[in-house]
Structure 1
Amino acid sequence: MTTPDPGFTASPPALSQRLSTRIVASAIAALLLIMAMILGTLWLSWQLEGAAAAINDAGSLRMRATKVAVELQKPAPNLTVHQSRVNAELALQDLTLAQLVSGNPARPLFLPSESLVQEQMAQVVHYWQTVLKPAAATSLQTGSSQPYLQALPEFIRHANQLVLLVEQNNERQNDWLRLSQGVLALVACAGTLAMIYLLYLWIILPVLRLQQGLQKMARHEFGVRLPIESRDELGILAGGFNQMADELEGLYRDLEARVQDKTAQLAAQNRELSALYEIEAFLNQPGDIETLCRGFLQRVMPLLDAEGGSLRVLDGHSGKLHLTVSEGLADALAAEENCTRLHDCLCGEASQSGMVLVHDFRQRPRAEGYRCSKEGFAALAAFQIIAPDQVLGTFALHFHAPRDIGSADSQLLRTLGQRLGVALLNRRLSAKARQLAVVEERSLVAQGLHDSIAQGLNFLNLQVQMLDLAAKADDMAEVREIVPLLKTGVEESYQDVRELLLNFRSKLGPGELMSGIEDTVARFRRQCDAEVVLDVQEQGGAPLPPEQQLQVLFILQEALSNVRKHACASKVEIMMRNGADFVLQLTDNGDGYDPAEVVSRAEGHIGLHIMQERARRLNASLTLSSVQGEGCSLLLKLSQAVRQAA
């Protein structure tokens, strides 16, 4: 595998090594070269323009010199005017010569600096000053133009020579201008090609290499590497690409192994979740505690391939662990460890520390002192069975070979111990709830027996004693009076027994309260001659759940039983309203009772206490009101706030 340049660094390059620095420097150099050549062509064109003006003025020297000759030859009617015209032409000639000598940058106007041109100009000026101009003055004085005309041809020859030299110099400068323009065009073309080449070399080629590398990487050719030819930004990018390729090649090489590892991990996690789900579903099934513990142990042992297992329940009063179930343990070992103290075994230590793991008993001091080791087990894993705020016991897994328990397996076993603890606690609470329900129902049965059958049997006992006395006294009249009373008492006791049996067997489903009330009223009508008015109105209230329906029906049955036994009523009115609140009211026109007297001997009115107890089960209010000789009324009200959903 190709490795990156050992000198490569991912830090930003130095200013001199940056690609942007090279591009900017190249652009500035090209700009300076082009500007220099442009300035040179401008200077040449300026020189050409000045030389053209010089040619023009040099040519005007001949014209002005000829014009002076013309002025000298004109007739002169006025000598002063004639002299002034000639002097004016001479002055213009002097000015032109002066400008040619000194030049005028504003026009521009200047003679080339070539020595031949300057020497010829000096000859023109010298001839003008020393020959031709004095000849003009002589001609003005003598009035004859002959001296000036004789000197004029030589001046024109010097001026022509000057013009010729300036024109030759101008042609050479034109050649230089054309040459510089050609060179400028060539430099522009070469510079453009150079910039294109440099940009290709610096930017396009590295980017193309990077693109090709990425295409190969996309085809899973992870052995591709880019050459690092510079230390600029693209060089850093190439180095980064090579590092990425190294990592991807390593990752791709190990990908299959990693996929296999991940697959194995997912399979293990899936196995753990499946086991957890299966055990959770099992723990939620009904069954006794021993079945629950044995099924738990049988499902946990295969998870870690354990050859043995045991589950112990902690007795909080004695501080001992009792072996509840075991799997794979010898009978002698199970009998020996049936009941152990917390500090006598490793399972006891686990109940206090939360977990005990023994990789190999042979590596522990006094290994022969452990009962598990004597039975051939080499490793042990013990965990708490814990419910909220309390330890219920421990479970242990036994292995014949040395075994390490990983953190994932340990966490799973801890979680299973917690779930088992919750399930055991729920079983215990359910058993206590059933026990309390049986106790409460037995209490109500005892109260019902005491209030009905016990009183009837007491009455029959008194009548039997009186019958015995009458028989001993041979008082047949008394016997004849007592026998019908005994018959009536037996019939009443029989009716009380049947009524209690019917109450105990009463079962209501959702929405069956009305039928239960109608059956109870019909039975009361068969047992009593009193008129019964039943008024039931459904006012949009939801049906009561079966448990609350049964308690309401028991209260109604007990109230009607009291009316039948004690009230001597001729009319009973029953009203039920099922709206936002549930209301049951029973009113009779019987003898009534004195509430103060009832309170004073409350132990004699078990039926009233039974109704109050059932109302408390409903979380309902029960109001009893009566006036001696004016009947009594019972009002049961279950408010909306405490109603249960059916």
Structure 2
Amino acid sequence: MSDLPLHPASSGALPAAALTTPLQYRLSTRIVTLSGVALALVLSMIAGTLWLSWQLEGAGAAINDAGSLRMRAGNVAIQLNEARAGRKADVSSQTALLDLTLAHLKGGDPARPLFLPATPAIHAQLDAVSQTWYGSLKQAVTHDSSSSTDTPSLYLARLPAFVAEADALVRMIERENARKTAWLRRWQMALAALACVGTIAIVYLLYAWFVMPVRRLERGLSRIEQREFSARLPVESRDEFGHLAHGFNRMASELQSLYGDLALRVTNKTAQLATRNGEPVALYEMTAFLHGAFDVEVLCRGFLARVMRQFNADAGTVRVLAQDGDNLHVVVSEGLPEPLLSAERCMPASTCVCGAAATSGLAVVRDLRTPQALDTGPATRCGKAGFNAVAAFGIVSHDVTLGSFSLHFRDGRAVLPSETRLLDTLGKHLGTALQNHRLATAARQLAVAQERHLVAQGLHDSIAQSLNFLKLQLHLLDDAASRNDMNEVREIAPLLRGGLEESYEDVRELLVNFRTKFATGNLRDAVDETVTRFERQTEALVRLDYDEAGGLPLPPDQQLQVLFILQEALSSVRKHASATQVHIAIRNAVDFDLTIEDDGDGYDPAEIASRGDAHIGFHIMRERAARLGAQLRLDSEPGNGARVRLLLPGSERQAA
């Protein structure tokens, strides 16, 4: 076998469809198919030899049992003679053994193995042997003893016919066994021949599939090393080596072209590198801009201006999907004619290039000069406005499409794959910025709603109850006035005055509490102010122990919640405890610990729990502790004061 020559100038190129090797032409497919066929042939032949060996083994056992029929028939004759002579004999056991042997021959025994060859003549001969035994010999053993002929003589007279039938059965099994032995030798010879032919075929195929293509490739590489860039390999197969030969020819052609106009290619590569180097800069600048604190319109307008400047677009838009996802709204636009902008300010998301990008999140580039773009629709409006190309890209955040942005070009412009990837990335950055803006807005709304909820609870716990008391007293005052009972009027008037003063104090306390603001590290001043105000409102003696203990200051949000809990606890003491002494202990170490104790009337925790939401102050403190991630414990006994402890673990502390 000789190598195929190299083609000196012909490219031998495969068509574009052959660049991807089809499955049926791959070398791996050929090798697997060849191995599978060879394995199937070898296994089938081995299975045939094993089957023949098993048949021969079973037939050998059958020959042995068939030959034993003559011996067992003779043993029956011997036992009959022994019985006639008056000696002890066991005719029935010998008869049973012969019956059992015939049954084994007829039914077979795969475990031994023992079975007759599947030949009709042999099975017919076995039936003849069985008929001779059951129809002649066995009847002679069991015939009537009153007959003139004795049993042994009758049995011996019929025995030769049975032996002849048994001999014929043995000879037929032996002939069938000899035939299968000959087939076994033929199968073994065929297996040896298959091994030789298969080895030769595999060597030839491996040489043709691997060695020859590798040698041609080596010769081609040698010529390339000698700067013979006109060298080409013949492409004569569609497997991996054919693909490799095609790649070699393409490489040689590329090298030949590069060697011919190296200066031009260096210039082009330099321009490409400059473009690629500009992409990270644009991406960095855009990322820095999007992370600024802007509202949505400023964010989108700045994004659009930078993208249009980067890609020399004549116009552009940023659109967002409505909540229902059916309509697409223009947030900002640049360079679009007013009629076009008015027509597309709000349009169905299922239409136009921008809608396709907004619903799928994928880039859509449309050349409006092609016949396919002449259909009626929004794309036609862009074409009538003087734009020849439109490119739209999705605004995506965490696989959720929020809208799209588009670039419009009056001159036909092809968007390169690298530019498409950059614009897709920019769309994801804009989507993340918009999503963060939405989340921040939602967080602020949630915080306001939660704080309003706490304000409402505070109003319900203080002013609402006081006003309800005043309303009841006014009804009593009206009744007393209608009855002209001045004594009762004089009793009710101080109660109304006290209720109004208490309501006024509650309003002032709420206003002071909810106007509290913090800068980092001002918790101590706010606590001192709260304690001073509490001392003015009550006659209780307050002792404050404030221990910094090396802990860092809490951030303003956590400081505010701690102060609100302290104010709420002191308000409960002022209103309900009738305490003479109050002890406040604050320890700011790894954990933040706040404790408020008083010696007042106390309360029954079970009775408070049974009232559900009746004591709003406790619920307010618990909700604020939950927002902190802190542990709040309320302890009290009737007549023994009360104790409130707030523990903020170090794991829940935020950085100040």
Partner of 1:297: 304
1:282 aligns with one of 275, 278, 289: 289
Spell out, residue by residue over 1:112-161, the C-alpha distance to the aligned partner (whole angstroms, 9 max, x if none). Answer: xxxxxxxxxxxxxxxxxxxxxxxxxxxxxxxxxxxxxxxxxxxxxxxxxx
Q: CA deviation at 1:306?
A: 1.3
Aligned amino acid, residue 556 of structure 1 = L
Aligned amino acid, residue 298 of structure 2 = T
Contact 1:384 1:395 in 2 (8 A): yes
Contact 1:367 1:373 in 2 (8 A): no
Hey, what's the Cα distance between the residues in 1 that align with 2:441 and 2:225? 71
> Mean alpha-carbon deviation: is it higher for 325-334 or for 518-527?
325-334
2:319 aligns with one of 312, 321, 338: 312
Q: CA deviation at 1:363?
A: 3.5
Q: Map 1:489-568 to 2 at 5 A.
A: 489-568=499-578
Partner of 1:589: 599
Hey, what's the Cα distance between the residues in 1 that align with 2:418 and 2:227? 39
Q: CA deviation at 1:452?
A: 1.0
TM-score, reference length from structure 2: 0.59
Q: CA deviation at 1:318?
A: 4.6
Partner of 1:265: 272
- Structure exhibiting the larger radius of gyration computed from Cα positions: 1
In structure 1, the residue corresponding to 2:350 is in which secondary structure?
Answer: helix
Hey, what's the Cα distance between the residues in 1 that align with 2:502 and 2:464? 12
Aligned amino acid, residue 486 of structure 1 = L
Q: CA deviation at 1:248?
A: 12
State whether structure 2 residue 631 is matched by structure 1 residue 621.
yes
Q: CA deviation at 1:549?
A: 1.4
Could you say if the C-alpha distance between residues 316 and 547 of structure 1 is closer, same or farther in structure 2, counting changes exceeding 3 Å? closer
Q: CA deviation at 1:394?
A: 1.0
Q: CA deviation at 1:376?
A: 1.7
Q: Map 1:266-415 to 2 at 5 A.
A: 266-353=273-360, 354-364=362-372, 366-367=374-375, 369=377, 370-415=380-425
Q: Map 1:473-492 to 2 at 5 A.
A: 473-492=483-502
Q: Map 1:103-502 to 2 at 5 A.
A: 257-258=264-265, 260-353=267-360, 354-364=362-372, 366-367=374-375, 369=377, 370-502=380-512
Contact 1:322 1:338 in 2 (8 A): yes
Q: CA deviation at 1:358?
A: 1.3
Aligned amino acid, residue 490 of structure 1 = L
Partner of 1:216: none
Hey, what's the Cα distance between the residues in 1 that align with 2:573 and 2:255? 94
Hey, what's the Cα distance between the residues in 2 that align with 1:547 and 1:352? 40
Hey, what's the Cα distance between the residues in 2 that align with 1:411 and 1:318? 25
Q: CA deviation at 1:250?
A: 9.7
In structure 2, the residue corresponding to 1:343 is in which secondary structure?
Answer: coil
In structure 2, the residue corresponding to 1:617 is in which secondary structure?
Answer: helix
- CA RMSD across the alignment: 2.9
In structure 1, the residue corresponding to 2:408 is in which secondary structure?
Answer: strand
Hey, what's the Cα distance between the residues in 2 that align with 1:421 and 1:491? 55
Could you say if the C-alpha distance between residues 541 and 347 of structure 1 is closer, same or farther in structure 2, counting changes exceeding 3 Å? same
Could you say if the C-alpha distance between residues 259 and 497 of structure 1 is closer, same or farther in structure 2, counting changes exceeding 3 Å? farther
Partner of 2:647: 637
> Mean alpha-carbon deviation: is it higher for 339-348 or for 403-412?
339-348
Aligned amino acid, residue 307 of structure 2 = V
Aligned amino acid, residue 358 of structure 2 = S
Q: CA deviation at 1:242?
A: 7.9
Q: CA deviation at 1:450?
A: 0.8
TM-score, reference length from structure 1: 0.60
Could you say if the C-alpha distance between residues 477 and 322 of structure 1 is closer, same or farther in structure 2, counting changes exceeding 3 Å? same
Q: CA deviation at 1:456?
A: 1.4
Contact 1:311 1:325 in 2 (8 A): yes
Hey, what's the Cα distance between the residues in 1 that align with 2:278 and 2:533? 62
Spell out, residue by residue over 1:352-395, the C-alpha distance to the aligned partner (whole angstroms, 9 max, x if none). Answer: 44111112334425345422112221111011111102111111
In structure 1, the residue corresponding to 2:509 is in which secondary structure?
Answer: helix
Partner of 2:618: 608
Aligned amino acid, residue 339 of structure 2 = A
Could you say if the C-alpha distance between residues 392 and 240 of structure 1 is closer, same or farther in structure 2, counting changes exceeding 3 Å? closer
Gap regions ≥5 residues in structure 2: 1-7, 9-221, 230-253
Spell out, residue by residue over 1:567-609, the C-alpha distance to the aligned partner (whole angstroms, 9 max, x if none). Answer: 0001111112222322111111111111111111122211110
Could you say if the C-alpha distance between residues 613 and 365 of structure 1 is closer, same or farther in structure 2, counting changes exceeding 3 Å? closer
Contact 1:314 1:393 in 2 (8 A): yes
Could you say if the C-alpha distance between residues 256 and 483 of structure 1 is closer, same or farther in structure 2, counting changes exceeding 3 Å? farther
Q: CA deviation at 1:540?
A: 2.5
Gap regions ≥5 residues in structure 1: 1-7, 9-236
In structure 2, the residue corresponding to 1:607 is in which secondary structure?
Answer: helix
Hey, what's the Cα distance between the residues in 1 that align with 2:526 and 2:506? 19
Aligned amino acid, residue 350 of structure 1 = A
Hey, what's the Cα distance between the residues in 1 that align with 2:313 and 2:492? 80
Could you say if the C-alpha distance between residues 443 and 240 of structure 1 is closer, same or farther in structure 2, counting changes exceeding 3 Å? closer
Could you say if the C-alpha distance between residues 410 and 621 of structure 1 is closer, same or farther in structure 2, counting changes exceeding 3 Å? same
Q: CA deviation at 1:324?
A: 2.1
In structure 2, the residue corresponding to 1:364 is in which secondary structure?
Answer: helix
Q: CA deviation at 1:514?
A: 1.7
Hey, what's the Cα distance between the residues in 2 that align with 1:580 and 1:279? 41
Could you say if the C-alpha distance between residues 242 and 276 of structure 1 is closer, same or farther in structure 2, counting changes exceeding 3 Å? closer
Q: CA deviation at 1:466?
A: 2.2
Hey, what's the Cα distance between the residues in 1 that align with 2:603 and 2:595? 18
Number of equivalences:
413
> Mean alpha-carbon deviation: is it higher for 354-363 or for 607-616?
354-363
> Mean alpha-carbon deviation: is it higher for 444-453 or for 354-363?
354-363
Could you say if the C-alpha distance between residues 273 and 485 of structure 1 is closer, same or farther in structure 2, counting changes exceeding 3 Å? same
Q: CA deviation at 1:315?
A: 2.6
In structure 2, the residue corresponding to 1:644 is in which secondary structure?
Answer: coil
